Amino acid sequence: MSTLDKILTQTQRYSELLLEEVLTKSTADEAALTEEEKWEKEQDRLIPSMAGATVKPYLIKGVKWLKFLWQNGLNGIIEDPVEFGAVFQTLLFLAHLKESGLHGPYMIVTAEPSSHISYWLKGIR
């Protein structure tokens, strides 16, 4: 597969993700949902099934932020006071991309001390 074909394939997948976003914007039906039901729906849509985890709403917000940055071609920083929170959000976002057919490679820069590498390894496994 040529480089151009790869770029076209990724562009098509990106367009499909954007279309999905547009189609899943709030509707009248969603207005009747409770806050908890809205978060459950967001989790089903954003958090990959491969994660096998129930995610707290504040973590979903972090994944949405990363997705927004990525869709707009921006870099960004995510910070979480919970020791493993930012790592978990980043891994969930990368899993979301992978489940969407966008396998990378991606570069992650972290300012965490080397003693925290075990958190990344634990999250990947």
Please tell me the distance from the alpha carbon of residue 119 to that of residue 85, in angstroms, as a whole number.
10
Q: Answer yes or no: pTM beyond 0.85.
A: no
CA–CA distance from 112 to each of 78, 109, 117, 125 (Å)? 12, 9, 8, 19
**Structural domain of residue 79, as residue ranges?**
3-124
Residue 120: predicted pLDDT: 73
Buried b (16+ CB within 10 A) or exposed e, 64-83: eebbeebeeeeeeeeeeeee
Ranges of the chain with pLDDT below 50: none
Residue type, 124: I
Do residues 80 and 110 make contact, with C-beta atoms less than 8 angstroms apart? Answer: no
Please tell me the distance from the alpha carbon of residue 66 to that of residue 61, in angstroms, as a whole number.
9
DSSP 11-43: HHHHHHHHHHHHHTS--HHHHTS-HHHHHHHHH
Residue 11: predicted pLDDT: 78
Cis peptide before 105 (omega within 30 of 0): yes
Instruction: Record the tokens describing residue 72, joined without a space.
Output: 């707009």
- Domain count along the chain: 1
